[in-house]
Amino acid sequence: MNVSAYAAPSATDPLGPFSLERRAKRADDVEIEILFCGVCHSDLHTARNDWGGAKYPVVPGHEIVGRVLSVGASVTRFKPGDAVAVGCMVDSCRNCSACSAGLEQYCENVATFTYNSSDRIDGTTTYGGYSERIVVSEGFVLRMPDGLDLAAAAPLLCAGITTWSPLKHWKAGPGMRVAVVGLGGLGHMALKLGHAMGAEMTLFTRTPGKEQDARRLGAQHVVISTDEAQMQTVKRSFDLIIDTVPDLHQLDPYIPTLALNGTMVLVGFLGDQDQLSTRPLILGRRAVAGSVIGGIPETQEMLDFCGQHGIVSDIELIRIQDINTAYERMKRSDVKYRFVIDMASLR
């Protein structure tokens, strides 16, 4: 199946039109017409080979919402016309302890990612959602709840689940004080989800003037992290901190704001951190942890929760032809809070 797409031909060239061949449906596959695709920092990092290992041409996109066009002979959960979604993974080994626990993102044999990965059966390179259609195994297709704006729901497939998973794992809810570091694509979803789960939410930001937006998104409190006096007022306050900052930054200022047994979870930055002082960790039985996206069962749980509570991302809808401009703006944090591509612009 020949499909129109947009691809990065190299680490330095702009994204442009590309024609790719999608595989023929296997018995357990779902063929999906892509309606909307969110734009994630991971797309930019992979296109520019910031993490290494990019397989060019790269077709990014792992926040995919669309409608089922056709299904394979053994598919039972979906039918043509269904509103569905695909996130960051399209397969895993399905047999290891992580996969058996519904945590496919931690597959011991490495998950097959939606783009820049290799198909487990035929070894071909996977291509993402900056394209007309995609073919995905039924086990990695998610059902969209009724009533959600499909365009605004697209970022739930990465930004949403990336923050939902640690909130859920560390049991955010009534009586719990949760802080979020950074107000971007991930941070604004963390505020929305944590607030809906019943936690008392605080935003840490270095930028004055974000208070009104933070409160609209679900924060009861805003702390300027560069203001030592404000930081002193929240020492030993938080049961959980979700750190969404995608760049190298100091963690030490935030650790003393954790309560006894509190945990700071890193979800934004992938790489080497500067030296971390262990004194506040040891003296408060505090922890620094990491988390990445979420498994298929918890992603469906998150989507259903968002359907029940009417939660979607704050988005700016763009044409695929504007993707390179969007990347430049994203590097400057010039978006509130997520770009989403209207894939009708590709047709």
What is the mean predicted confidence (pLDDT) over 245-272?
92
Q: Tell me: the pLDDT tens digits for 194-203? A: 999 999 999 9
Determine the pLDDT at residue 209: 85
Q: Which residue has the higher pLDDT, 276 or 115?
A: 115
Q: Look at residue 183 and tell me whether its pLDDT is greater than 80.
A: yes
Determine the pLDDT at residue 276: 87
Q: Look at residue 246 and tell me whether its pLDDT is greater than 90.
A: no
Determine the pLDDT at residue 45: 93
Q: Look at residue 235 and tell me whether its pLDDT is greater than 90.
A: yes
What is the mean predicted confidence (pLDDT) over 35-40?
97
Q: Tell me: the pLDDT tens digits for 279-322? A: 999 999 999 999 999 999 999 999 999 999 999 999 999 999 99
Question: Do 31 and 141 belong together in one domain?
Answer: yes
Residue 306 counted as domain residue: no
**Which residue range(s) make up the domain with 267?**
160-290
Determine the pLDDT at residue 269: 82
Q: Tell me: the pLDDT tens digits for 74-89? A: 999 999 999 999 999 9
Q: Look at residue 47 and tell me whether its pLDDT is greater than 90.
A: yes
Determine the pLDDT at residue 208: 85
What is the mean predicted confidence (pLDDT) over 255-270?
94
Question: Do 100 and 196 belong together in one domain?
Answer: no
Mean pLDDT of the chain: 96
In whole angstroms, give the CA distance from residue 252 to residue 275. 9
Q: Look at residue 275 and tell me whether its pLDDT is greater than 80.
A: no
Question: Do 151 and 165 belong together in one domain?
Answer: no
Question: Do 35 and 173 belong together in one domain?
Answer: no
Q: Look at residue 175 and tell me whether its pLDDT is greater than 90.
A: yes
Question: Do 144 and 37 belong together in one domain?
Answer: yes
**Residue 189's pLDDT band (cuts 50, 70, 90):** very high
Question: Do 142 and 11 belong together in one domain?
Answer: yes
The total number of structural domains in the chain stands at: 2
Question: Do 112 and 253 belong together in one domain?
Answer: no
